[in-house]
């Protein structure tokens, strides 16, 4: 896990991310979380993409097994259960703090007026996208985003068990771009 500042992503890392997404990775400013094999699971993305589009989801979950696991969770009744956790004042306060932390991390890469105050996943008061919340939890580490932590805890996927197509590809020297 890591939050800014990040080392610049390597060609090999970007090639893995592009393969994960099935399209060229855009605006990646760092690798925010990794599989146990070293491949990226979460990328940090510039709040303004190279084509000028505002992009609020700074911590973007890229690993196919992780995104599939979050989609599976979203398809069950877990969303209202997670939202109900926010009825607890302490959890609600932590979730609001996670929102502020998210915005602070992103602001290091530029202020984008179109998305000012907008984080991701439904923060600070709703639960809308487990992919975004899990991405934040993986990047920031346990104890920052309580809903993201809970989504990961309930998930069948774990960064500690490699399910990559090409384990460790991101750490190899002189990787050719996949796309």
Least distance in angstroms from the C-beta of 103 to Zn ion: 30
Minimum CB separation of residue 162 from Zn ion in Å reads 3
Least Å distance, CB 65 to Zn ion, is 9
Note whether 65 binds Zn ion by CB under 5 A: no
Tell me the C-alpha distance between 177 and 17, whole Å. Answer: 10
Nearest-angstrom CA–CA distance, 67 and 17: 13
Query: C-beta of 42: minimal distance to Zn ion in Å?
Result: 13
8 Å CB contact between 17 and 62: yes
Which residues, 32 to 51, sit near Zn ion by CB under 5 A? 35, 37, 39
What's the min distance (Å) between Cβ of 16 and Zn ion?
A: 9
Q: Which of 10, 162, 171, 175 binds Zn ion (CB under 5 A)?
A: 162
Cα–Cα distance list, 101 to 20, 81, 108, 120, 150 (Å): 27, 24, 11, 12, 18
Nearer to Zn ion, 27 or 167 (CB): 167
Instruction: Spell out a b/e string for 133-155, using b for 16 or more CB atoms within 10 Å of the CB, else e.
Output: bbbbbbbbeeebbbbbbbbbeeb
**Binding span for Zn ion by CB under 5 A among 30-38, 88-96, 136-144, 150-158:** 30-38
5 upstream amide cis, omega within 30 of 0: yes
In the bound state with Zn ion, the residue whose beta carbon lies nearer, of 96 and 163, is 163
- The 3-class SS string of 25-36 reads CCCEEEEEEECC
Stretch of 27-35, 50-58, 93-101, 128-136 lying at the interface with Zn ion (CB under 5 A): 27-35
The residues that touch Zn ion, with contacts defined as CB under 5 A, are 35, 37, 39, 162, 164, 167
């Amino acid at each position: 896990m890591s939050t800014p500042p990040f080392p610049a992503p390597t060609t090999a890392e970007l090639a893995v991310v592009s393969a994960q997404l099935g399209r060229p990775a855009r605006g990646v400013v760092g690798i925010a979380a990794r599989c146990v094999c070293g491949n990226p699971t979460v990328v940090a993305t510039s709040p303004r993409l190279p084509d000028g589009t505002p992009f609020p989801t700074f911590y973007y979950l890229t690993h196919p097994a992780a995104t599939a696991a979050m989609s599976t969770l979203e398809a069950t009744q877990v969303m209202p259960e997670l939202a109900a956790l926010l009825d607890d004042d302490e959890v609600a306060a932590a979730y609001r703090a996670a929102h502020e932390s998210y915005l602070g991390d992103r602001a290091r890469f530029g202020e984008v007026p179109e998305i000012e105050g907008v984080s991701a996943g439904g923060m600070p008061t709703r639960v809308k996208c487990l992919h975004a919340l899990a991405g934040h939890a993986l990047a920031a580490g346990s104890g920052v985003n309580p809903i993201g932590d809970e989504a990961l805890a309930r998930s069948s996927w774990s960064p500690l068990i490699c399910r990559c197509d090409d384990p460790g590809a991101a750490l190899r020297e002189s990787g050719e771009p996949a796309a």
